[in-house]
Amino acid sequence: MNLNDIKQRLPTIPGINGRDEYFNSVVLLLLVPVNGEFHIVFEKRAANIPQAGEICLPGGKRENNESLQTTAVRETEEELGIPSHKITILGNLDTLIAPLGVIVDVIVGYTEVDLSTIKINEAEVTRCFTVPLSFFQHTQPEEYKVMIKVHPTYIDEATKQEVVLLPWQELGVPEKYASPWGKLNNQIYVYKAEGEVIWGITARIVRDFIQKIRPLKGLSKK
């Protein structure tokens, strides 16, 4: 192998190291015209799923290497009943890597479907609502911080025994790694709108979108 061989094997577009170790999902930030202004579509998760009661954007797990756009549109149709052919894709936002092992790709789309006519999947969604872009443009989110640490051991709830994840002595790594380490202060953003709390990954995505379009004035339907 020579330098040219190595060069040819390097990715043309760099990906995300360790992506296959994360839960990979795609969400759709969907814009809809309401009274002459663009709104963002949100949903409240049903009580019988892991994200019970959370406010989120439509979306879900990427299946079988399907395209990001396919996942976003498919999940939106499954959850909110908006026909895929009535969704126009506008582009992508930055990929979000959450500290808890989730990678979220974000697609931005547009629909003119009257949301009062849709039939939501009540097994997954308990409510669908919209918030005007102007609200997010003129409202700064509340900001909080949580600390994230790496834990080399944990106590099993059933047996009450310690489970060693990183055998530091056997590996010969420094003893300081026998205890939790790191002190990442992860920023948490919170918006309060329409009687709901929009926070976490969803709030971070919305904030990113608003920052990217901030130079645009008078965001109304054209």
The C-alpha atoms of residue 56 and residue 27 are separated, in whole angstroms, by 9
pLDDT digits (tens, 9 = 90+) for 112-128: 999 999 999 999 999 99
- In the block, residue with structure tokens 């396919």: 70
Q: Where are the domains of the chain?
A: 21-139+190-213
The maximal CA–CA distance of the chain, rounded, in angstroms, is: 65
87: phi then psi, degrees, rounded to nearest 5: -115, 125
**In what helix (H) or strand (E) does residue 87 lie, and over which residues does it extend?**
none
* Second CATH level (architecture) for the domain 21-139+190-213: Alpha-Beta Complex (3.90)
Predicted TM-score of the model (pTM):
0.90
pLDDT digits (tens, 9 = 90+) for 46-91: 999 888 999 999 999 998 889 999 999 999 999 999 999 999 999 9
pLDDT digits (tens, 9 = 90+) for 185-205: 999 999 999 999 999 999 999
